[in-house]
Amino acid sequence: MLTLPSVLTHAVVPDFVRAMGPAMQSHQAELVVDASALKQFDSSALALLLECRRQALAAGQGFSVRNAPALLRQLAGLYGVAELIPAATNSPA
């Protein structure tokens, strides 16, 4: 599982991407991103999630997002990518 920080904006995404390497190397069947801590974000958060999805699918993994804030879901809908960022269906670990 990859846990997002409370702030995920254009200014902090590059540092987060460098730090998330080990989580992206997981050999699990699905990459689940936990967005429950996410409080402040911009469209860079969507770009990050789409990159995580791309990497997961390239590795043969599924991809989903757990506990995405309503505003993030609205932003995804506005940009037309909501269907690319599915909600996790399993219960929280």
44 contacts 77 by C-beta, under 8 angstroms: no
DSSP state of 82: G
Give the number of other CB atoms < 10 A from CB of residue 10.
Answer: 12
Q: What is the pLDDT of residues 14-66, one digit of tens each?
A: 988 888 777 677 668 899 999 999 999 999 999 999 999 998 999 899 999 99
Q: What local confidence, expressed as pLDDT, does residue 26 receive?
A: 67
Measured CA distances, 53 to 57, 82 (Å) = 6, 12
Checking if the pLDDT of 93 tops 50, the result is no
In order of 5, 40, 69, the CA distances from 11 in angstroms are 13, 12, 20
Could you tell me the domains of the chain?
2-84 (3.30.750.24)
| Residue 9 confidence class, pLDDT cut points 50, 70, 90 | very high
Residues in the chain: 93
